[in-house]
């Protein structure tokens, strides 16, 4: 009799244990993304970047630190460098949108950086959800880069205005906010571009002072990033290498990446 009770107790205990383990496995599997994001140590994947030591925001991101230069004579100002008032800040921008790397969301989040995205509607179309995730989960601001990425300097004012305004109009529908910053494709622009940008509601024509290509940071002057530099990279197959190279370089040069729109409000 006693042996029977022990046996039943063992079976009951065994089934509870099994159920518990199964339940734990299910909940762990279901919680993998949360567990990963809240882990103090980054996962040992080659496609993630360790958080910057300076990942704490030097000021509350999303608050105005400086305003864009004024629009004069109906022409949006051209900005290629930011006056950070001596603060060690650098700005990263990511253009086009042709390749939607699935690692970007987590990589950006882990870095603490807030890139500004200058996107072409031709690349966003059909991939709105990908860029909406970047906007919503990483709090990124989406800027205007024209619909089809043409050489604007060779186009009429009317044609330029259509390329620029249509991009903004589409992004209002796709992302709920109207871009305030503009980057001309190839960095090519003329006075009509500045006028068209202003007429499409854009505050600044934003160029750059450094770029990342094939995992290498390239400088227009000198051999390191400097405070106020605006860095250009792209949504390419080398996204992970390029973004990682930027984060490492900024850290090496003692700079904290901060959001560009905060300084061009």
Whole-angstrom distance, CA of residue 76 vs CA of residue 203: 6
Q: Which is nearer to Zn ion, 96 or 242 (CB)?
A: 96
Residue 258 CB partners (closer than 8 Å, separation 6+): 57, 58, 59, 61, 65, 89, 90, 91, 114
Give the binding-site size for Zn ion (rule: CB under 5 A): 3
Q: Which is nearer to Zn ion, 92 or 227 (CB)?
A: 92
- What x/- string results for residues 164 through 203 when contact with Zn ion is judged by CB under 5 A? ---------------------x------------------
Given a contact cutoff of 8 angstroms between Cβ atoms, the answer to whether 139 and 62 are in contact is yes
Q: Which is nearer to Zn ion, 95 or 229 (CB)?
A: 95
Residue 96 binding Zn ion, by CB under 5 A: yes
In whole angstroms, the minimum distance from the beta carbon of 146 to Zn ion comes to: 8
Residue 229 binding Zn ion, by CB under 5 A: no
The only residue of 84, 95, 143, 228 in contact with Zn ion, by rule CB under 5 A = 95
Whole-angstrom distance, CA of residue 41 vs CA of residue 172: 38
Q: To the nearest 5 percent, what fractions of the chain are helix, strand and coil?
A: 45, 15, 40
For residue 252 the two structure tokens come to 């090496």
In whole angstroms, the minimum distance from the beta carbon of 188 to Zn ion comes to: 10
Candidate ranges 52-60, 82-90, 91-99, 210-218; the one touching Zn ion (CB under 5 A):
91-99
The candidate with the shortest Cα–Cα distance to 255, out of 29, 107, 53, 48, is 53
Where does this chain bind Zn ion (CB under 5 A)?
95-96, 185
């Amino acid at each position: 009799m006693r042996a029977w009770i022990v046996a039943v107790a063992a079976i009951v205990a065994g089934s509870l244990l099994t159920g518990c383990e199964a339940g734990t496995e299910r909940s762990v599997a279901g919680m993998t993304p949360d567990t990963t994001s809240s882990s103090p140590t980054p996962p040992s994947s080659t496609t993630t970047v360790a958080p910057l030591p300076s990942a704490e925001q030097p000021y509350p991101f999303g608050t105005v630190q400086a305003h864009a230069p004024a629009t004069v004579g109906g022409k949006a100002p051209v900005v290629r460098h930011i006056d950070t008032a001596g603060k060690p800040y650098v700005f990263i921008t990511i253009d086009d949108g042709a390749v939607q790397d699935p690692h970007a969301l987590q990589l950006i989040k882990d870095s603490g950086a807030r890139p500004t995205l200058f996107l072409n509607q031709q690349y966003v179309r059909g991939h709105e959800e990908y860029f909406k995730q970047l906007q919503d989960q990483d709090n990124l601001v989406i800027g205007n880069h024209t619909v089809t990425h043409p050489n604007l300097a060779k186009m009429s004012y009317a044609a330029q205005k259509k390329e620029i305004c249509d991009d903004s109009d589409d992004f209002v529908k796709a992302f709920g906010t109207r871009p305030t910053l503009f980057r001309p494709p190839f960095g090519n622009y003329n006075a009509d571009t500045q006028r068209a940008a202003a007429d499409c509601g854009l505050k600044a024509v934003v160029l750059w002072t450094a770029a990342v290509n094939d995992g290498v940071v390239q400088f227009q002057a000198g051999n390191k990033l400097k405070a106020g530099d605006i860095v250009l990279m792209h949504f390419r197959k080398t996204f992970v290498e390029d973004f990682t190279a930027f984060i490492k370089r900024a850290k090496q040069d003692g700079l904290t990446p901060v959001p560009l729109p905060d300084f061009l409000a």
